[in-house]
Amino acid sequence: MSPTAIFRLIYSFYLASFLWNFYLTLRQYNVYRKAETRPEEVSGIISKEDFETARNYNLDKMLFDFYEIAFGKTLTTIFQSVLFILLSSIIETMIELPFSFYETFYVGQKHGFNNETVPFFFQDRAKKFFLNLLISSTLVAAVVWIVHWGGQYFYIYVWAFVSAFIFLMMFIYPEFIAPLFDKYTPLPESELKTKIEALANQVEFPLKKIYVVEGFKRSSHSNAYFYGFLKNKRIVLYDTLLSEEMNEKLKQADQKTETETTTEDGNDTKTTKPETSEGETTAGIDLATNGDEQHKHSLGMTDDEIVAVLGHELGHWSEYHSMWMLIATELNIFVLLFVFGFLHRQPNLYLAFGFPASAQQPALIGILLVSQYVFAPYNELMSVAMNFVTRRFEFGADAFAARLGFVSQLCTGLVKLSRDNLSLPINDWLYSACNHSHPQILERLEALKKFK
């Protein structure tokens, strides 16, 4: 019998023992819990007061036994890892929250991007915190368990699990998680929708639905993207990308839907337009400041510019850019886990960072040490390499849209995106190489000249 088979056999016996003891403890706890009055058969050996005192003590002791059985033995490292994630998430959130608040309500507000209210800000961050905690804790607990279960080649099983988890999240996030934070509305029948559908047919993109996401509640930044597997693709447009006319159509559709609904007592539901105080940003409108002068300009794009930008996005699909990036991510994860497989049982690795040596090193700590510290030089080089690749992909997607006949529309659309997002088209080349995944706007416009 191989060492791996022996380990799995022993672990199976140990797990069965754990479940059995947990079951026995649960039964005993229920006995104590149900004995609210002293049974008659023990009246001769213990008083009522002593019985109540002993009952309360043993109930508390049994609860502690649950902890000892559940976390003190078999699942110790899993519990510690999840607890580590919980504490680190709380600390990270407490540190990040003031900076995020300042960035949103000072920097963003100052430059006309912020549309969040203070209650919305805290509600949104709270939802993100608990959702991230739930997902990360589940993932970490599963990974730690697989590390201890998988034997010598555990990294293969962890890689397979993480890969499956990534694919699952690619499906779950846009369908179930993203709508928890933002409102997604089908794009109304319009000339824009007709043009987008014609573009999809032209390049044989399997488009099923087109959504508009209510991004203006957060900021005035614009974006567009697609998602979905195989023959079930969806396109998402930020409302800040659309013209004022289209945003007005969306508002009217929402108001019509709300007006048709009634309250439980039979009264019509009233709808009111949100009040906008002086200096606030509304959908489709922004105030840009240049020195002491304020220039009011309309945000959003024309229909043709939006179609051109989507032509760029569909270029990523046509050239399989997303697939290549996913493959690169999977390979990177495998390399990380492969190296971790050799290092995680090395006591010197943990001792070097102040962790005590023990027979069973915490897997989560080992992964963090390898990924963040041992791999630090590798991560930097990979970041630069991935930026180089994604820049090539961006140029390729621009070329794809240009070949569809959208050269001038894409140029004006990119300029508007850069303007509306206050992108500064001047960068240090080394900083840009290490930090920017997209080429500068001037580089993209220069590359598009050859298609004119």
Q: Can you read off the two tokens belonging to residue 208? A: 């099923």
Give Dmax over CA atoms of the chain in angstroms.
103
Cα gap 176→224, rounded to integer Å: 19
Burial class (CB in 10 A: 0-12, 13-18, 19+), 31: exposed
Q: Can you read off the two tokens belonging to residue 105? A: 């309500």
Q: Can you read off the two tokens belonging to residue 147? A: 């590390």
Single-letter residue type at 145:
W
Cα gap 53→34, rounded to integer Å: 15
Q: Can you read off the two tokens belonging to residue 301? A: 């794009």
Pick from 88, 96, 34: nearest CA to 59:
34
Cα gap 178→191, rounded to integer Å: 27
| 8 A C-beta contact, residue 284 and residue 242 | yes
Tell me which of 96, 313, 330, 443 is the catalytic residue. 313
Pick from 218, 283, 277: nearest CA to 251:
283
Residue 65 catalytic?
no
Strands 184-186 and 207-213: what pairing?
antiparallel
344 is in an annotated binding site: no
312 is in an annotated binding site: yes
Residue 41 catalytic?
no
Kindly provide the residue ranges of all beta strands, DSSP E only, lying in 94-186, ordered along the sequence. Answer: 184-186
Pick from 389, 393, 386, 397: nearest CA to 448:
397
Tell me which of 264, 398, 420, 428 is the catalytic residue. 398
Cα gap 311→398, rounded to integer Å: 8
Cα gap 443→248, rounded to integer Å: 35
Pick from 286, 257, 281: nearest CA to 269:
257
Binding-site residues for Zn(2+) sit at 312, 316, 394
Catalytic residue numbers, as ranges: 313, 398
Binding-site residues sit at 312, 316, 394
